Amino acid sequence: VTFFPARLTTPAGGSATFFCNISMENDYISEYSLNWYKEINHSQTQKIAEISRIHPETKTEKYRLTNHTPAFKFEILNLHQNDSGSYYCGLITFYEPDKVMESNRSFLVVTAAPEKTNATDEPKMEESNPPDHIKAVLLGILLLAGTVVLLIFGYLTVTYRRGGMLLRGGCAAPRGWKPPMVPLPTVDYGVLEFQRDQRTQVPPETHPVDQTEYATIVFPEEKPVTPERGKKHQD
């Protein structure tokens, strides 16, 4: 009867699996019972499970045994650190020779459970990092925009240089083309002369000289007034 692996290290919360092999060379082994033991303080033995030929599987909340003759699978579920210790299997036969055959010991070490990562952080990290295809699309758009800007800048530069060379070479300007009128500022300078206030001389008032003129009035001789002339004179 063999029990393996000889040593197993598993974190808490998981499960540990051992195997027990028995020899089927003799006919008396057809009726048997296989027990699973755990040593406590290297002096006491505790039976934790049992399986026989007519029971292919035994299962509890803590242990599970499966018959795969000539191999038997032993599992410890939901490990705790106090499950650490030595384990072995014992084969009990019911016919001659009626005896118990014990296997070698295997040692189980249960380590502390790993620290649990916050499950809510993972989706946030995934959301903060956009998928690769979105990154590729954004990069393509940026490259295309940069190419367009460079082409426009190159076109404007070449056009400006050609225009400057034509003007410098003395070539005729296109018909209807007029040079741009650039207003030039002009400055007028003047001299301001300030003089003292001089009183204007007012000529003295002149009074007209009193003159006496004499005139002689000569009246023509008057004709005698007749009735007809008097009437005409009234009209």
The b-or-e profile of 165-199 (16+ CB within 10 A means b, else e) is eeeeeeeeeeeeeeeeeeeeeeeeeeeeeeeeeee
pLDDT of the residue at 78: 94
Question: What span, in angstroms and rounded, lies between the C-alpha atoms of 139 and 131?
Answer: 13
Give the residue, 158 or 220, on which the prediction is more confident.
158
Question: Is the pLDDT assigned to residue 189 strictly greater than 80?
Answer: no
Taking only the tens place, the pLDDT of each residue in 88-113 is 999 888 765 667 788 999 999 999 98
> Could you tell me the pTM of the whole model?
0.48
- The CATH superfamily holding the domain 2-111 is Immunoglobulins (2.60.40.10)
pLDDT of the residue at 6: 94
pLDDT of the residue at 14: 93
Contact 67, 20 (CB under 8 A): no
Question: Is the pLDDT assigned to residue 179 strictly greater than 80?
Answer: no
Mean predicted confidence (pLDDT) in 73-85:
94
Residue extents of the structural domains in the chain: 2-111
Select the highest-mean-pLDDT range: 39-43, 126-130, 168-172: 39-43
Helix (H) or strand (E) holding 72: strand 71-76
Taking only the tens place, the pLDDT of each residue in 132-173 is 778 888 888 988 888 888 889 888 888 877 766 555 555 555
Give the residue, 217 or 10, on which the prediction is more confident.
10
